[in-house]
């Protein structure tokens, strides 16, 4: 476990709203295990996976870092489109051999909608993402990140449509919730929930988060824990 990872002292009480088991899972430290530039480099199907998707510069890497309490795990950049592979992160302390597998994996997907790269390269990333979404049996949920300042855009709706078509369960997570006022955030959550209510693969609960303030992170941790069947739904 790195020095940048928060550790939990023996007997420390988890934050309200999160189970001790899930709290400990996200405090044990996560490590990067693989970058996947094409489908042939995917790790063998084993632990359940959750993936994070969103428009470029939506705050995806920052949210993952805050979620696992490790500031430098997922690379952040002010340049949209820097994540160019499927990046795999797992809880630390598992060898991956002889059944010693981590209980879950987090997959950081390339941002969509913008990339400072040649068109053929962008097309290759897009194909990788959608091939992964359609064909990964161990993928249990995709968290689609939406910037609270902008709400659902047309390109987000297109991605949701593809997820519906592929029958991949997904949940909307609003990022940067601290950047708008509380009444506007409440309205945005309600409006977003109404927009996805008829979508067949959408999980009905919309989460609002802030990487900077820590808002909504425990709710997201619990959602992930339940999705990967680390602990039963309550």
Tens-digit pLDDT profile for the chain (234 aa)?
333 333 333 334 556 678 999 999 999 899 999 999 889 999 989 899 999 999 988 999 999 999 999 988 887 545 454 567 899 999 998 888 778 889 999 999 988 876 566 777 777 877 888 889 888 999 999 999 999 999 999 999 999 998 998 899 999 999 999 999 999 999 999 999 999 999 999 999 999 999 999 999 999 999 999 999 986 444
- Domain membership of residue 10 (yes or no) is no
Please give the Cα distance from 224 to 218 (Å, whole number). 10
- Domain membership of residue 207 (yes or no) is yes
- Domain membership of residue 89 (yes or no) is yes
Closest among 172, 209, 222, 225 to 63, alpha carbons compared:
209
Please state the pTM of the whole predicted model: 0.88
Q: Which domain holds residue 204?
A: 20-227
Please give the Cα distance from 208 to 223 (Å, whole number). 12
Closest among 233, 209, 232 to 219, alpha carbons compared:
209
- Domain membership of residue 56 (yes or no) is yes
What value, to the nearest 5°, has the Cα angle with vertex 65 and ends 101 and 12? 75
Please give the Cα distance from 134 to 129 (Å, whole number). 9
CATH no. for residue 145?
A: 3.40.50.300
- The structural domain count of the chain equals 1
- Domain membership of residue 2 (yes or no) is no
């Amino acid at each position: 476990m790195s020095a940048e990872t928060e550790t939990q002292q023996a007997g420390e009480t988890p934050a309200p709203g999160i189970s001790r088991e899930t709290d400990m899972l996200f405090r044990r430290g996560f490590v990067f295990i693989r970058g996947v530039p094409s489908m042939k480099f995917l790790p063998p199907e084993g632990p359940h996976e959750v993936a994070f998707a969103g428009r470029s510069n939506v705050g995806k890497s920052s949210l993952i870092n805050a979620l696992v309490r490790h500031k430098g795990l997922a690379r952040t950049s002010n340049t949209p489109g820097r994540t160019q592979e499927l990046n795999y992160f797992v809880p630390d302390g598992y060898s991956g051999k002889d059944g010693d597998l981590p209980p879950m994996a987090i997959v950081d997907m390339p941002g969509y909608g913008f990339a400072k790269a040649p068109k053929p390269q962008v097309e290759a990333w897009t194909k990788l993402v959608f091939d992964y979404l359609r064909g990964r049996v161990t993928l249990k949920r995709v968290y689609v990140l939406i910037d609270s300042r902008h709400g659902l855009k047309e390109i987000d709706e297109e991605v949701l449509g593809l997820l519906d078509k592929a029958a991949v369960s997904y949940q909307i997570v609003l990022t940067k919730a601290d950047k708008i006022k509380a009444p506007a955030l409440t309205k945005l959550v309600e409006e977003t929930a109404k927009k996805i209510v008829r979508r067949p693969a959408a999980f009905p609960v919309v989460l609002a988060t802030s990487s900077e303030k820590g808002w909504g992170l425990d709710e997201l941790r619990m959602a992930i824990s339940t999705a990967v069947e680390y602990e039963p739904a309550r």
